[in-house]
Structure 1
């Protein structure tokens, strides 16, 4: 049969799709970090002071610069892309990926808030209005990879 109907095959195909998406996103973090800059909340970003100046007081979560957050999230997506392919690590990786996508909601909400603020423009409003709801299916998809496949006969595979 060209397309097996077992739940395991569907689960593996779904995991491969999620892995490809995560890998493409991870690569984009390093090729085009500017794409991700708007979705890193300001309160997470450390403001590096110039030579001889002390940094301004920051939020307690402001431990990395914006570019460092982008690089770290790219590395996390790369690790998730690999781990989600391996059946032994898939459940943990899928849980972590769903949590990561959920955490990214804060950045998307912050970007949307800024897009509709005084410095925002119509293009930013459109982009971030469309980008935010895409997180919901990504979270659901990652979460769905936590379960084991179901055999064609209806029983769960172990």
Structure 2
């Protein structure tokens, strides 16, 4: 997959995921770790950050910052993914459901790597984009 295609796919994933924070916020509030304050506000904030990061990947001047921001966001929301697993275990969800949640936890690492790679543009691409902006 080319760098441009990779960034577009990632941007689409993060913009869609961010929008879902506003469409079904209760689903995200349910997975918030109980020790965090302001659950709904944090859901909305993370949704805005996901959308901004996704769009930022498409803009050469903001690409690196967007990549770093998305990586930090994935690290910040990892406790919610763990909380989702703990809640599923406490609710005695089916084993396949729990297995999917176990798989999801380490999948953050390849996603972080993908973001890192996609946010590192070849210099020529940045130069062409900068020249076009003049």
TM-score by shorter chain over 0.5: yes
Gaps in structure 2 of 5+ consecutive residues: 128-134
Q: How many residues align?
A: 126
* Paired position in structure 2 for 1:132: 105
* Paired position in structure 1 for 2:114: 141
Structure 2: how far apart are the matches of 1:110 and 1:100? 16
The answer as to whether partners of 2:68 and 2:116 remain within 8 angstroms in 1 is yes
Q: Larger deviation: 9-18 or 138-147?
A: 9-18
Answer yes or no: is 1:96 the counterpart of 2:69. Answer: yes
**Which structure dedicates a bigger proportion of its chain to helix?**
2
Runs (4 or more) in structure 1 with deviation over 4 Å come to none
Answer yes or no: is 1:35 the counterpart of 2:8. Answer: no
| Cα pair distance change 1:143/1:80, threshold 3 Å | same
Match of 1:121 among 93, 96, 110: 93
Match of 2:44 among 52, 67, 71: 71
Instruction: State the TM-score, normalizing by the size of structure 1.
Output: 0.68
Aligned-residue RMSD, C-alpha: 2.5
Instruction: State the TM-score, normalizing by the size of structure 2.
Output: 0.78
The structure with the larger Rg is: 1
Query: How far apart are residue 85 of structure 1 and its match?
Result: 0.7
| Cα pair distance change 1:124/1:36, threshold 3 Å | farther
Query: How far apart are residue 126 of structure 1 and its match?
Result: 4.2
